[in-house]
Chains A and B, each alone.
Chain A
Amino acid sequence: MKPAYLLGSAMWSTGIASQAKWRADDFDAAMQTPTCSSVKTRHLRYTSVVTRMALNVFEQVTTDKDVNLGTLGVVFASSFGEIQIAVKLLDSIDTDGAPSPASFMNSVHNTAPGHLSIACRNHGISTAIAAGSQTVSSALLEAMLLLQESCSTVALVLADEEFPEVFNDSFPSLAVCLLLQAKASSQSLCTLDGIRIAKEVVPVSLPHFAGNPIAPAASLLQAIASKKPGPHRLDLEQDEGWCVSLSFPE
C-alpha cells in the first residue's frame, strides 16, 4: 500500500481548543462546546458535541490550506458516534412518545460528514466508520485506501464525545483531524506508511484522554509533533496491535 503524506492536523477536547493550547497546557475548563462557522446556526441547533467537534477540527485544519474542499474525501470515525442524541431520543420516546424529527435526522453515525459535505458542496466520497478500540487504525486504513484509489486529499476526522451521565463512565470529549494527501509536497509534515499489526510496539497512553476510544489519535498527534520516527501504535495494550510507521522530512 502506498504511503500518505500529512498536510496538517488539528484537535479539540473538552477545555482544550487546539493542539497549541494542549501543548502549552492552556486549558479552559469552562469550554464544553466547540465553535464552528461553516454550518449555518439553524442547522447546528440540533447537533451534538461530537458533530460540532468534527466540524471544528475540520475547519481548523483546512482554513489556511490550499485544498479543494469540494472534491476531497472525508472519512469520519467514531466508536460511539451520536450517543448523547441517542439517549435523548430514547428519553423523549419514553416520556412522551414523540422524539424531535430534527434530533432524529442528526442521530445517524454520518451526521458530521453529512453536514461537512453540505457545507463544502462536496459531491465526492464521504464515509463514516466505527471499530471499537480499533477505530483509529481502521479509519486511517480506509483513508489511505481512498488516497490510493481515487482521492488526492482526504480529511480523516476522528471524534468521540463524553458519555451521557446515566452511564456513569467519564472521559473527556476528543476530536482529531488529519489532512492527508496521496502525493508528497514541500508542505508535507510527515509520511505515514506501512499500516500493519505489530504487537511488540508499545502503545503510548495519555492519561488525560483515558477511556476515550479515539485517545490513540491524540498520541499519534503527539508523536508527529515531537517528530518521533518509526512505528506508532494506534490502539491500546490489550488490542490487536495495529501500527503505522512515521517518517519526517529532513
Chain B
Amino acid sequence: MGDLLPTSGPLAITGWSAVNALGTSRAAISESLYGGASGLRSCPLELPFTTFCGTVGDEMPPLPSKYQDYECRQARLALGIYQGVSSAVDTALKKWGNARVALILATSTGGIAETETALQVHRRKGHFPAHFQMERQHNFYAHCRFLKMTSGIGGPSFVISTACSSSTKVFASARRMIAADVVDAVLVGGIDSLCLTTLHGFHSLGILSDQRCKPFSGERKGLSIGEGGALLLLEREGESAVSLLGCAETSDAHHMSSPHPEGLGAILAMKQALEESGLSPQEIGHINAHGTGTLHNDASEARAVAEVFGRHVPVVSTKGYTGHMLGAAGATEAVFACMALEDQRIPKSLGADPVDEAIEMQVNQKQQERVLKTVASNSFGFGGSNACAVFGANS
C-alpha cells in the first residue's frame, strides 16, 4: 500500500437479495440459517467421484425474449437474484439518475457451464449448439451486461474475478467509485453457477470433500461447492439498517493456490479493513470467516484471526450451509453479515463440531442472540488474493 488517503465514510446498504442452497427468499434463507439446516445435497452432476453441493433448488426465471442471446444458468441466477432488489434499484435510479449508479459484479465461473455443454455437443456433432455465443454466455461480463440492460443502470459496469475473494473486493471498488464522486450508488454482488470445471479442478487438488464440508472441525476433509449469489445496493446516503464501514484488499505474495501459512496477507487485510472502518479489533462483534473446510485454509485463517482479534470474537463459517460459492461467496456472506446485524443473531458454525483443537479462536458452535454492532467478513482466493469487509448496524 502506498500513502493512504481517506476514502468515503459509511455507505448505506439500502437493499439486498440472495439466492443460494438455503432458498431464494429472505424468509427461506433465514429459516434454514437459524434452524441450523444445511443446504448441501449429493451433487446432481454426473461425476466419477462423490461430493456434496449447495445447488439452488428453486427454478430460476427465464430471460425475457429480447435477451434470449444471454440465456444460460448464470444469467438466470442473476435475474432471479435481481428481482429481490429491483425496487430498491429503481428508487436509487430515480434519486440519483441512471448515469450516477454503477454495477460491479463478481464471478469466478462466468458462464462456463454453458461452454462445457457446448463443447460436448461440438465433440459429438462437429458444431456448437445454435444458441451458443461466447460473448453473451461464456464471457465473465455477459451476465453483468444483461443486468445492466435489465436494470437501466447507466454508470460504469464491470466484473471483478479474483477467484474466491472476488465478491468482497466489489465493496472496495464501489467505495472508491463513490469516494471519487464518479457515482452516488453502486449495485454490487457476486454470482456463480455449478459447473464441471470447478468440481473436477478442486477434486484434482485433493481438497474437495466427499461429505458435507465441516469448516474448522477436527474432522474436516475439504470443501463443498455451492452456487447462487447475492446483490447489495450501496448508496452514498439513505435509510438503511446496515452500512458498509470499510473494506481492504491485500496479496499474500506466497503461492498461487495455498494461503500464506501464517496468514500474512489475511492479517494485513483485516487490520486495514479495521483501520478504514475506524474500529479497534475489540469493537468487532462477530466474524464471518472464509472458512472453506480445507485443512490448510482453515488453519491459516484461524492463526490470522487470532493474531488480529484474539480469541473472544465469535467466528462462523457459513459454508456448511451453502457450500463454497467461490466468486459469489463474499457477497453471500455479506448478506449473512447484514442479516446478523438486522436480526441481532449469530448463527452457529455448521459442521464445526468437534472443533479442531489446533484452531485457537472462538468458533461459534451455538446460535447466539446478542447486541451486535459490527461484523467483519473475510474472503481469500487463489493467487493469494485477500479481502475483508466490515459492516455496521445503524442505530
Contact = CB atoms under 8 A, between A and B. Distances in A.
A123 B255 contact: no
A114 B177 CA distance: 24
Contacts of B172: 125
Contact of A117 (B161, B196, B253): B253
Given A105-B256, A118-B256, A127-B249, A81 B180 contact: no
Nearest to B178: A145
A118 to B, nearest CB: 5
Given A89-B197, A141-B182, A71 B141 contact: no
Contacts of B139: 79-80, 130, 132
A90 B197 CA distance: 7
Interface string A130-167: 11101101110110011011111100000000010011
A138 B158 contact: yes
Contact of A90 (B4, B134, B196): B196
A141 B205 contact: no
Contacts, number: 210
Q: Which 10 A-B pairs have the closest CB atoms?
A: A114-B383, A109-B161, A104-B201, A138-B158, A131-B158, A132-B141, A130-B140, A152-B2, A117-B251, A105-B257
A94 to B, nearest CB: 7
A97 B108 contact: no
Interface stretch (B78-86, B112-120, B218-226, B369-377): B112-120
B157 A108 contact: no
Given A114-B256, A114-B385, A98 B176 contact: no
Nearest to A139: B158
Contact of B4 (A104, A108, A132, A150): A150
**Interface bin, chain A:** 35 or more
A66 interface: no
A91 B251 CA distance: 32
A86 B197 contact: yes
Contacts of B205: 101, 104-105
B252 interface: yes
Contacts of B182: 1, 141, 145
A94 B120 contact: yes
Contact of A118 (B120, B159, B176, B255): B255
Nearest to B265: A123
Interface in A15-72: 43, 71-72
A118 B252 CA distance: 8
A159 to B, nearest CB: 14
Given A124-B250, A132-B141, A153-B2, A113 B157 contact: no
B253 A110 contact: no
Given A127-B169, A131-B157, A145-B177, A86 B115 contact: yes
Interface string A90-122: 110110011111001111111101110110111
Given A94-B119, A150-B4, A110 B197 contact: no
B48 interface: yes
A134 B157 contact: yes
Interface of A: 1-2, 43, 71-73, 79-81, 86-87, 89-91, 93-94, 97-101, 104-111, 113-115, 117-118, 120-132, 134-135, 137-139, 141-142, 145-146, 148-153, 163, 166-167, 169, 182, 197
B104 to A, nearest CB: 9
Given A127-B162, A148-B176, A118 B2 contact: no
B40 interface: no
Contacts of A126: 162, 249, 251, 383, 385
B268 interface: yes
Interface string B112-146: 10011001101100000000001100111110110
A97 B46 CA distance: 11
A138 B256 contact: no
B1 A125 contact: yes
A116 to B, nearest CB: 9
Nearest to B179: A149
Nearest to A120: B253
B160 A127 contact: yes
Given A71-B2, A118-B253, A145-B173, A110 B382 contact: yes
